[in-house]
Amino acid sequence: LNILVDTGSSNFAVAGVPDPDVTSYFNTELSSTYKSQGIDVTVKYSQGSWTGVLGTDVITIPKGIDGSYTINIATILESENFFLPGVKWHGILGLAYDTLAKPSSSVETFFDSLVRQAKIPNIFSLQMCGAGLPVSGSGTNGGSLVGGIEPSLYKGDIWYTPIKEEWYYQVEILKLEVGGQNLELDCREYNADKAIVDSGTTLLRLPQKVFSAVVQAIARTSLVQEFSSGFWTGTQLACWDKTERPWSLFPKLSIYMRDENSSRSFRISILPQLYIQPILGIGENLQCYRFGISSSTNALVIGATVMEGFYVIFDRAQRRVGFAVSPCAEVDGSPVSEIEGPFTTADVASNCVSSISFHEPVLWIASYALMSLCGIILLALIILLLIPPRCQHRYTDNDVVNDESSLVRHRWK
């Protein structure tokens, strides 16, 4: 089974029944080691959802780690917009923290099980290779390493930024530059309501205010005149003659992150080859491209658009995420990503992340309890002052908590 590695969710789930859009599935009846827990589980993404049953089974790692390990696995029985036509993966491996695990954080994640049973270091790393390749291309590129760092997968130094909170891999963004020009936004705009590193998201997603500022800056500094607004919103492609390279028309995009030394920062930069993405050829003469950046309602998400430029280390043991230039981030022999630093943080706030963490389940429960109490008191006052109305209680479904990872639309579609 081909499995999508997703750092924006925490469940390990595979197709458990035939589906028109998958070529293979896991038949639990043929596994002598599978044990059903009889627990229903549903995960919703901003694009797609699935419902299945939680169980356990025994796995082995093909390379590097000897032994067999018992892990939690959900078999997907129903899905909506999850398995896409022509999809080449049959499940998803969530590598975020257990806070996001469904149906509750008591479900031990795949990676936590591996760390506990195999006694490996609590760290993994990803190299996603796809710079300059057509989205409709095929083949195997990149790799995933559990338990450490592989020196051959990066060049230069590794720069680390602290993990602000252990649910998603939440980091702190200090500022953005387009073509070397600061957007001059309050740094809290970049972190509203969170900034995360998510391999399961295809694009670089930006909060609406940041997205608008980035589009305006790119349009202002690019050499393309009167560019269609549909290209920026993702509803239209832009096409050039196949003999042309449009990337020279667009500026570099830089993201500043806080260093482990809070008084310093570093920046990761992607060239247009990473965010102006070839997607479709028309006839013999035209090559069409899409904009690899989109707007988001509630997060800044560093997805595949950016991650394909870097070797990314998820050092859970030391609560940090590391970035280094990836040797596969080259187009026509030239690098398309950069890392530079250190820079001073004197020009930004000492903390750009809100201290209110309403994603924590306990705080959500407490907030609902307080609101309910206020509502009861208000109703009591109304009853005392007016004719007693018929009381109605409105229920909400808290059994399903949305996972806000935007599920990656696989690169070969």
Q: Is the pLDDT of residue 409 over 50?
A: no
Q: Is the pLDDT of residue 34 over 70?
A: yes
Residue bearing the bigger pLDDT, 401 or 337: 337
The whole-number pLDDT of residue 66 equals 87
What's residue 283's pLDDT? 76
The answer to whether 210 and 296 have CB atoms below 8 angstroms apart is no
What's residue 227's pLDDT?
77
Per the CB < 8 A criterion, the answer to whether 121 and 313 are in contact is: no
Residue 394 has pLDDT above 60, yes or no: no
Residue 73 has pLDDT above 70, yes or no: yes
Does the structure show a pLDDT above 70 at 138? no
Q: 298 versus 190: which is more confidently predicted?
A: 190
CA distance 323 to 160: 6
Domain ranges of the chain: 1-120+360-413, 123-344
Q: And the tokens for 176? A: 């953005």
- Is the pLDDT reported for residue 364 higher than 50? no
Record: fold of 123-344: Cathepsin D, subunit A; domain 1 (2.40.70)
CATH number of this structure's domain 1-120+360-413, picked from the four choices 3.30.1180.10, 3.40.50.300, 2.60.40.420, 2.40.70.10: 2.40.70.10
pLDDT of 141 reads: 73
Mean pLDDT of the chain: 86
Question: According to the per-residue pLDDT averaged within each range, which of 137-146, 241-250, 349-358 is highest?
Answer: 241-250
In the predicted model, is pLDDT for residue 284 greater than 70? Answer: yes
- The confidence score (pLDDT) of residue 375 equals 58
Distance CA 76, CA 275 (A): 33
- Catalytic residues, by residue number, are 6, 198
pTM for this prediction: 0.86
pLDDT at 378: 62
**Mean of pLDDT values over 84-110:** 93
Q: Which residue has the higher pLDDT, 333 or 367?
A: 333
Model confidence band, residue 40 (pLDDT cutoffs 50, 70, 90): very high
Q: How confident is the model at residue 134 (pLDDT cuts 50, 70, 90)?
A: low
More confident site: 362 or 324: 324
Query: Pairing relation of β-strands 276-282 and 264-270?
Result: unpaired
